[in-house]
Every structure is written in structure tokens, then in C-alpha cells.
Amino acid sequence: MRQRMHSEGATGRVCAYNSDLLGTFKHIIRTEGYGGSYRGILPEYFRVVPSAGIVFMTNETHQFFKAYQQKTNALSSISIDLTHSPSTHW
């Protein structure tokens, strides 16, 4: 609906929608039915879904490498001194 309100009058057609969102919604329901409010949603999904997937994969990859780095840092900080074991003092 936002796109319809934005492009209203730009194509040379007469302004059919009222100036508010509710008036535009009522007009679409009257003239095109409830399915008219979903017109044009597929191109929007083609634009949004790939970018959301890229953001999701970037976030997951970052979390994986961050956890891996923390794990390797924790393992490298552990030092075992085998020259002074408690069993040699007996």
C-alpha cells in the first residue's frame, strides 16, 4: 500500500486513493478484494529474502569463529608442568 500511495498520480492517472492509509486500504478492498493487498509482494520478497539470508549467514559464521577462537585461547592458556609432579616428592 505504501508503494501505491507513493506512486499515485505519478503515472498520469487520477488520484484514486484518499490521503490516509485507511482510505487506501478501503479502496483496494472495494475494487480488488482482499487479494489486492498482496499484489506486488513477490518482487518484494525477491529483494528482501536474499539480503536477510546474507545477514543471517554472516552472523552465524561470526559466532562460530568467535566461539572457536575462545576455545583455542582457553586451551592454550592451560599449562601442565610435568617436572614437578606430586608423586616425585615421596
**Count of domains for the chain:** 2
Q: Give backbone dihedrals phi and psi of 25, rounded to 5 degrees, phi first.
A: -60, -45
Q: Is residue 59 part of a domain?
A: yes
3-state SS track over 14-27: CCCCCCCHHHHHHH
Q: Is residue 62 part of a domain?
A: yes
Q: Is residue 81 part of a domain?
A: no
In whole angstroms, what is the distance from residue 46 CA to residue 58 CA? Answer: 19
pLDDT for the residue 37: 77
pLDDT for the residue 43: 85
Tens of pLDDT along the chain (90 residues) come to: 666 665 665 555 556 556 677 877 888 888 888 888 777 788 888 989 999 999 999 999 999 999 988 888 776 766 665 566 565 555
Q: Is residue 82 part of a domain?
A: no
> Looking at the structure, do residues 46 and 68 belong to the same domain, yes or no?
yes
Q: Is the model's pTM score more than 0.85?
A: no
pLDDT for the residue 69: 87
Domain assignment of residue 32, given as a range: 2-38
Q: Is residue 13 part of a domain?
A: yes
Give me the residue label for grid cell 554472516.
Answer: 58
> Looking at the structure, do residues 31 and 49 belong to the same domain, yes or no?
no
Q: Is residue 57 part of a domain?
A: yes
Reading the block at residue 14, the C-alpha cell is: 487520477
pLDDT for the residue 17: 58
